[in-house]
Amino acid sequence: MRVRTGIVLICLVALSIAGCATTDPPSDPTPTVQSHFFPLTNGLIYTYSRFDRNSGRIDTLRCKLLIGQTRVDPDFLLNMANGDTVYYIGLSKDASGQTAFMRNGDTNLTVLAGNLVTGARWVADIDHGIYATDTAHYDDYYLPERKVHYPDVVVIIYQQVGHPDQHTLRFFAKDHGLIREVNLIGDNNEISSLQLLSIESPH
């Protein structure tokens, strides 16, 4: 296993991220916000396994990516089971360059921003005091206990001021978007998580 670069490896090791391997470097060695965010293709179906420690349940979450038909219409991931919005999503630009957001309730996170280089840091949600740090890049990445391979994955850690023991890790794969999300207390006490099982193209 080789991490191209990284600063929060303890968190990653504690999460038992096994099966990472190196191959030839990606054809585009510098990830961008657009290349690693959700591909904005209307109708894509994302299926995740979902864990919640409070309920002790592991279930499946199927989301349809719906793209607004005009500039004022939102893009969002729809929970196909109950019609709820999982995340509103979108791309925009600010002073630092291109950004990507995921919004749920009153939390509006800038999940990716500017140049995606390891160590880059930005304000993810100023209202809630959440900061994001690009913490690692993988040339090759396998989700835990799965054989599916993702080349070119960036890992972002989100931490809230005043809550040093709590943080969220999100893994974004080139041309796929969010493939894993883990909410933690401490290094390895998992509260909840999402892990990608499949992406289906619209018919």
In the numeric block, which tokens belong to residue 197?
């099982």
**Distance between CA 16 and CA 18 in Å, rounded?**
6
Distance between CA 192 and CA 203 in Å, rounded? 32
Q: What pLDDT shows up at residue 14?
A: 42
The structural domain count of the chain equals: 1
HSE-CB at 108 with a 13 A cutoff on CA atoms is 6
Q: Distance (Å, rounded) from C-alpha 130 to C-alpha 177?
A: 21
Among 24-33, 61-70, 84-93, 135-144, the range scoring the smallest mean pLDDT is 24-33
Which DSSP string do the residues of 140-176 spell out, in sequence order?
Answer: EEE-TT---EEEEEEEEEEEETTEEEEEEEEEEETTT
pLDDT at 15: 41
Instruction: Please give the pLDDT value at position 28.
Output: 52
Give the integer Cα–Cα distance in Å for 12 and 20.
11
Query: Which stretch of DSSP H or E encloses residue 14?
Result: helix 9-14
In tens, the pLDDT along 89-133 reads 999 887 778 999 999 988 999 999 998 999 999 999 999 999 999
Q: According to DSSP H, which parts of 31-152 are helical?
A: 33-36
- Tell me the residue range of the domain where 133 lies: 5-200
pLDDT, greater one: 94 or 22: 94
pTM of this prediction? 0.84
Query: What is the structure's pLDDT at 160?
Result: 94
- In this prediction, residues 75-94 reach a mean pLDDT of 93
Which of 87, 36, 91 has its CA nearest to residue 66? Answer: 87
Can you give the pLDDT at residue 187? Answer: 74
- The model's pLDDT over 30-74, given as tens digits with 9 standing for 90+, comes to 789 999 999 989 999 999 999 988 777 899 999 999 998 887 788
Binned at pLDDT 50, 70 and 90, residue 16 comes out as very low
CATH of the domain at 169: 2.50.20
CA distance linking residue 186 with residue 164, whole number of Å = 8
Least-confidence region, from 2-11, 105-114, 144-153, 159-168: 2-11
